[in-house]
Chains A and B, each alone.
Chain A
Amino acid sequence: MLAFIAARVLQAIPVLLIVGLISFALFAYVGDPVLIMLGQDYTAAQRVALEHKLGLDQPFLVQYAQYLWAILHGDFGISYRLARPVGALFVERLPATLELAFTASVFALVVGLPLGVYTGIWRDSWLSRVAMTVSLIGVSLPTFLIGILLILIFAVKLEWLPSFGRGDVVHIGFWTTGFLTLSGLKALVLPAITLGLFQMTLIMRLVRSEMLEVLRTDYIKFARARGISERGIHFGHALKNTLVPVITIVGLQLGAIIAFSLVTETVFQWPGMGLLLVQSINVGDIPVMSAYLMLIAVVFVTINLIVDLLYFAVDPRLRMTRMAAAR
């Protein structure tokens, strides 16, 4: 087990170094900070002096090492657009994105899993048919269109829910939360559904097809022969064995949730990381872009690692082969 974890962590390091190199190259070669800082009139000597002061006359690898060192200490540079440290901006924006992603994932699981089980067991009931048709629509609609449609219906026509923003938030230390106020919760509904709908339909379809598969196997017949209740068979025996692919997909889809939170946040003007990135890209704010790249690489590498470890926890059959492969 430990050897497996160690091997996986070691595999992640080159990925992070490559992404770090790209994000450093962005910093170093796109735009010229010296020119910006010197203004219009300067002598060659001033330029050389400033370059020396900023460490820009050092060899490439030394600068790269310094950059990584600064990042490890939470120093991501200063945003061109907002003239504030990128690290502080991220800390400020992170709670909004995490709360949105968390709510969307919970929505996807809480709705998708039971629906998948239901449509798997009673595949011909009318509710199953409705669910499958709706899910087909959910898969085909692009995220931003779902958001716009929800705004049109629930914010413009019915006027039940707000169309943008986060509502009132409560500060708890550096964390801001919208979970504790009514307006915050109301503001969360539409973005969370928009972001989670695709995942929800995916989970539902996956659980359904896995259930159909598992319910045909011999050990389910044996369980029936032993007189175990239908309920016990469905949830104790069948559902458990559908969970391995579900965990993989949910884990890998966390990445998609982060990527599409960009789109959702733009539709709903949600003050999170995604909106910050989109705005920064539109004006060419390099420090924010390169820091986001670095951060997102860490997040994705961590997600992949956790998914691999969860496999381990859920399916004992994998333990032996995986451990052998890791060695």
Chain B
Amino acid sequence: MSDASALEVQAASAATGTLGRLQRAWDSDLAYSFRHSPVAVVSAIIAFVCVASAWGAPWIAPHNPFDLASLDLMAGDQPPAFLSGGTWTYPLGTDNQARDVLSAILYGARISILVGVTAIVFALTVGIVVGLVAGYLGGWVDAALMRLADVQLTFPSILVALLIDGIIKTALPRNLADAVQIYVLIFAIGIARWPQFARTVRGSTLVERGRDYVLAAQVIGLSTPRIMVTHVLPNVLGPVLVLATLNLGLAILDEATLSFLGVGLPSTEPSLGTLIRVGNDYILSGEWWVVIFPGFALVMMVLSVNLLGDWLRDALNPRLR
């Protein structure tokens, strides 16, 4: 999300004055605040590099770590190129099966981002629906839904995700569980984060419900679902979208943590967390690069998304202007 806005801003800077629309975007308060925040610009660039290189992994990765035929077992356990014994064929070294660490990171980041983004979109959808329904309908529906959110918020989200993931996988037959693993993971991480979104949307919906335009819509006889979706929803989206950006980094970390614990993605389909788990078995023999580089990539990605989220929150908060 923040990447999209960052892109827009970059595009806008290239086409200043040519198109009215881009000009307006460039002049907006948000773009002004972005240009004058070095932290936001730098983290946007890092996030953009992360996303672009992950998306382009099949084209820019020097090797395909999953093509078993291309692996040269003689090249296993090579240190990074800048250490003695390393070669530029494998810039960040190789693991014990001669997989190129850089390529594995690029492919892994792809999966990490995919899972993180889908999980947040899922949590956002559930949260918006629940929050709108609870806030607009009120009464016992509101009480029941919010009580449920309270109960879930008592537990740390990583624990909820872990238990849900474990339960679903146990309940499914073995081969089916393996096939749908990534969906189970997305579901578990998403469902662990819906209550915050639901609470935020409910809060804004309660405010909007009493406004005149909603009353007017009720008076002309629009159906309740229609009022909720076309009238209230656009007005409550802002804060929850900022919250989603702030949660994206956390969701990526959730995925990495679950994969590290061994309940996430298998090593045939490794995310950054899986790479760190697998590499962790080899650090006692001194192969630090197998763990440190994926870890560094993960931290850079999460940090840049978090800083962008912080900036967006501050920039959109009128009280801080």
Contacts and interface: CB of A to CB of B under 8 A. Distances in A.
Interface residues of A, number: 44
B158 interface: yes
Interface in A2-21: 14-15, 18-19
Nearest to A275: B261
B118 interface: no
B302 A140 contact: yes
Interface residues of B, number: 36
Contact of B263 (A151, A278, A304): A278
B303 A140 contact: yes
A289 B163 CA distance: 8
Kindly name the residue among A144, A151, A259, A262 whose own CB sees the greatest number of chain B CB atoms within 10 A.
A144
A140 B300 CA distance: 9
Interface stretch (B22-30, B73-81, B167-175, B211-219): B167-175
Interface stretch (A95-103, A236-244, A280-288): A280-288
A26 B166 CA distance: 11
A182 to B, nearest CB: 22
B298 A281 contact: no
B189 interface: no
Contact of A156 (B162, B166, B283, B303): B283
A152 B288 contact: yes
A27 to B, nearest CB: 11
Interface stretch (A108-116, A172-180, A205-213, A293-301): A293-301
Given A256-B156, A263-B260, A30 B288 contact: no
A143 interface: yes
Contacts of A152: 283, 288, 291-292
A145 interface: yes
A289 B286 CA distance: 35
Interface of A: 14-15, 18-19, 26, 29-31, 140-145, 148-149, 151-152, 155-156, 163, 255-256, 258-260, 262-263, 266-267, 277-278, 280-282, 284, 286, 289, 293, 296-297, 300-301, 304
- Pairs of residues from A and B, 5 with the lowest C-beta to C-beta distance, nearest first: A281-B166, A284-B170, A259-B156, A259-B159, A145-B295
27 contacts: A15-B154, A18-B151, A26-B167, A30-B167, A143-B257, A145-B276, A148-B280, A148-B291, A149-B292, A149-B295, A151-B283, A255-B154, A259-B155, A260-B156, A262-B159, A262-B162, A262-B261, A281-B162, A281-B170, A281-B263, A282-B262, A284-B166, A284-B170, A296-B155, A297-B154, A297-B155, A300-B155
